[in-house]
């Protein structure tokens, strides 16, 4: 049996390549056209398919055309990726804020509990975690895919173009340079990856939260396919792009490029129109059974709507700006790009009784409807970890509003451009409208530094790392007297987690902040 990765011929029936150690698939995928909902797949047992044969492959010509196109495209894109790596994480990545989760993902770096993870000497191109930050997938410039901690220093796949991590972190779905789509089960790390489709597949595939159902389209094919329980079958109507699929393929959201419209596909494949004039992001709950989205109406107003398992969309708000769910300060969201907008999975099982912000601040309840709490345009809304208080800015005023009860909000600071809060919300750091950095504890407001362009804080809010007039600086405990400047250090990017503060430079890459800075007063 020939290894699909290194080309070594192995004995028939071998499970592991004796040259590179990669798993060898042992069973072909189920024929397409079968109903993916036949039978009970609750035990999680999937068929293990074999890679497409090297000779006498009826799709060899299509594979060849796709591979040549993909290699040429990747060569052009790789140069761009390398150029922007110093600015932002390629491939979209995840939005990860300062948190106590084991993994923190930054540009060309993965940090686990204060240690830098680099499983290969090659450049890190993309890294994505699950929604709890417990597992991380890493793709290198050589096309090697790692899954930490299950993969260790051994790649689970080579010649990989793109990948995704399931919401719960158990599965990875990835596309190789031949356009074949694969699934890897981290709970069975000794098993070979499963081939979902042995024909070239387009980018933009999506997986269910448990990773056991995948929605995809083939190259040069307008049909939408659902892979679930080891079987693939067409679903919905032609010309649809995948947006989301719930566990078992029970609920599917997809997008029509020609209509710029969002559709819902029920369990048996019937497509239901949800919304036209799509604009902005789509937000999903963690089970992919609810969606929040925006549409442009005939009179130019953006209407934000919510759909619960494909029900008739309920309008949350009509106004010039869309509203988005308010999450906690350390929330991890999983983000993918779909056409001209992004699809974001939030760490919420339901949007019921969750605050939304943007054109105003409101609470949406499945039974109670919409309650507007702040009629003014508000920005930067975030909640503390217990979701007992929501923080936001209205007309430059920092505002604290209790989630329970109807008490009036507090407005502890003015002239606020942006802010970050500690996990419990007791400490607030903010930039004023003149780029001055402040630390607010209770009613005590200390101005720490001037000319600040970027800053991060630890989850407890006591320490901050920032860039002032191009120089790397830090502050301990929000006191002006405990401000330090690091001579001749010019940082490109900042990060933080429960183990410390980090910065990246052009020459040294990522570095953990250590002692040695010169004490300085930067407040004036």
What is the pLDDT averaged over residues 284-291? 96
Task: Give the DSSP H/E element, type plus range, for residue 110.
Answer: strand 109-112
The answer, yes or no, to whether residue 215 has pLDDT greater than 80, is: yes
| Per-residue confidence (pLDDT) for residue 345, from 0 to 100 | 96
Predicted pLDDT of residue 34:
39
Round the average pLDDT of the chain to a whole number and report it: 82
Mean pLDDT, to the nearest integer, of 384-404?
Answer: 94
Output the pLDDT for position 106: 76
Question: What confidence score (pLDDT) does residue 26 get?
Answer: 42
**pLDDT for 121:** 87
Mean pLDDT, rounded, for 218-238: 90
In terms of pLDDT, which residue wins out, 406 or 162?
Answer: 162
pLDDT in the model for residue 382: 96
Alpha carbons 220 and 22: distance in angstroms, whole number: 30
- 97 band by pLDDT with thresholds 50, 70 and 90: very low
Q: pLDDT band for position 32 (50/70/90)?
A: very low
The helix (H) or strand (E) run that includes residue 279 is strand 278-284
Among residues 129, 131, 341, 345, which one has the least CA distance to residue 246?
345
CA dihedral 183, 54, 241, 138 (to 10 degrees): 40
Rounded to whole angstroms, the Cα distance separating 190 from 372 reads: 53
Beta bridge partners of 503: 494, 511
Res 203: pLDDT: 86
SS3 62: helix
Q: What pLDDT digit, counting tens, does each position of 38-83 carry? A: 333 233 333 333 333 333 444 444 455 555 445 444 444 443 333 3
When pLDDT is averaged across residues 208-236 and rounded to a whole number, the result is 92
Query: CA 457 from chain center: how many Å?
Result: 21
Whole-number Å distance between alpha carbons of 346 and 333: 5
Question: For residue range 102-147, what is the model confidence (pLDDT) as tens digits?
Answer: 788 877 788 888 888 888 889 999 999 999 988 999 999 999 999 9
Q: H/E element holding 207?
A: strand 206-207
Q: Is the model more confident about 15 or about 453? A: 453
Lowest mean per-residue pLDDT among 71-75, 367-371, 381-385: 71-75
Residue 6's closest CA among 172, 182, 159? Answer: 159
pLDDT, tens digit, for every residue of 140-186? Answer: 999 999 998 877 778 999 999 999 999 999 999 999 999 999 999 98
**What pLDDT does 305 receive?**
93
Question: Lowest-pLDDT range, 91-95, 210-214, 241-245, 283-287?
Answer: 91-95
Q: Domain segments of the chain: what residues?
A: 19-235, 277-414, 424-524
pLDDT digits (tens, 9 = 90+) for 303-355: 999 999 888 899 998 888 889 999 999 889 998 876 667 899 999 999 999 99
Whether the CB-CB separation of 433 and 393 falls below 8 Å is answered with no
* pLDDT computed for residue 33 by the predictor: 44
Residue 1 has pLDDT above 90, yes or no: no
Which segment, 21-30, 230-239, 379-388, 405-414, is predicted with the most confidence on average? 379-388
Over residues 464-486, the mean pLDDT reads: 94
**Alpha-carbon span 227 to 47, nearest angstrom:** 11
Tell me: pLDDT of 84 over 60. Answer: no
Q: Phi-psi region for residue 86, left (φ > 0), alpha (ψ -120 to 50) or beta?
A: alpha
Task: Give the rounded percent of residues in the chain with a pLDDT score beyond 90.
Answer: 51
Per-residue confidence at 24, pLDDT binned at 50, 70, 90?
A: low
Residues 146 and 137 sit within 8 Å (Cβ to Cβ): yes
What is the number of other CB atoms lying within 10 angstroms of the CB of residue 303?
Answer: 19
Kindly report the number of other CB atoms within 10 A of residue 255's CB atom: 23
How far is it, in rounded angstroms, from Cα 247 to Cα 289? Answer: 9
Q: Which residue has the higher pLDDT, 481 or 68?
A: 481
DSSP letters, 28-60, are PPPPTTS-TTSS--TT-----PPPPPSSS-TTH
């Amino acid at each position: 049996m020939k290894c699909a990765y290194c080309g070594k011929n192995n004995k028939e029936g071998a499970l592991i390549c004796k040259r590179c150690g990669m798993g060898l698939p042992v069973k072909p995928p189920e024929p397409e056209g079968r109903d993916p909902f036949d039978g009970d797949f609750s035990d999680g047992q999937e068929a293990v398919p074999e890679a497409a044969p090297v000779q006498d492959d009826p799709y060899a010509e299509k594979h060849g055309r796709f591979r040549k196109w993909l290699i040429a495209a990747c060569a052009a894109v790789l140069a761009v990726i390398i150029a922007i790596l110093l600015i932002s994480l390629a491939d979209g990545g995840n939005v990860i804020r300062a948190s106590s989760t084991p993994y923190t993902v930054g540009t060309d770096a993965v940090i686990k509990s204060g240690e830098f993870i680099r499983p290969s000497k090659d450049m890190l191109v993309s890294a994505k975690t699950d929604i709890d930050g417990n597992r991380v997938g890493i793709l290198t410039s050589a096309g090697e895919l790692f899954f930490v901690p299950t993969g260790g220093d051994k790649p689970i796949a080579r010649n990989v173009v793109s990948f995704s991590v399931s919401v719960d972190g158990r599965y990875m779905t990835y596309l190789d340079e031949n356009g074949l789509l694969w699934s890897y089960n981290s709970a069975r790390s000794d098993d070979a990856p499963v081939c979902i489709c042995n024909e070239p597949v387009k980018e933009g595939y999506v997986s269910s939260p448990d990773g056991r159902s995948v929605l995809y389209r083939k190259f040069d094919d307008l049909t939408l396919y659902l892979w679930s329980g080891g079987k693939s079958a067409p679903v919905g109507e032609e010309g649809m792009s995948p947006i989301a699929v719930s566990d078992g393929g029970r609920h599917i959201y997809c997008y029509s490029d020609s209509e710029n419209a969002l559709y819902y596909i029920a369990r048996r494949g019937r497509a239901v129109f949800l919304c036209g004039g799509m604009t902005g992001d789509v937000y999903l709950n963690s089970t992919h059974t609810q969606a929040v989205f925006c549409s442009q109406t005939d009179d130019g107003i953006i209407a934000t709507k919510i759909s619960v398992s494909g029900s008739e969309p309920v309008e949350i708000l009509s106004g010039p700006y869309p509203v988005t769910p308010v999450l906690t300060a350390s929330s991890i969201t999983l983000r993918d790009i779909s056409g001209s907008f992004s699809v974001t999975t939030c760490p919420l099982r339901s949007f019921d009784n969750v605050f939304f912000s943007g054109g105003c601040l409101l609470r949406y309840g499945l039974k109670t409807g919409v309650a507007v709490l702040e009629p003014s345009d508000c920005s930067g809304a975030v909640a503390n970890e217990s979701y007992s208080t929501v923080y936001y800015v209205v007309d430059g005023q920092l505002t604290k509003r209790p989630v329970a009860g109807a008490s009036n909000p507090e407005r502890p600071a003015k002239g606020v451009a942006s802010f970050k809060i500690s996990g419990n919300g007791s400490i607030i750091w903010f930039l004023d409208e003149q780029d001055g950095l402040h630390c607010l504890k209770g009613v005590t407001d200390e101005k720490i530094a001037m000319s600040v362009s970027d800053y991060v804080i630890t989850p407890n809010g006591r320490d901050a790392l920032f860039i002032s007039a191009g120089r790397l600086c830090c502050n301990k405990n929000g006191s002006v007297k405990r401000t330090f400047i690091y001579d001749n250090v010019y940082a490109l990017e900042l990060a933080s987690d429960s183990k410390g503060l980090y910065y990246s430079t052009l020459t040294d890459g990522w570095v953990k902040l250590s002692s040695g800075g010169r004490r300085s007063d930067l407040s004036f």
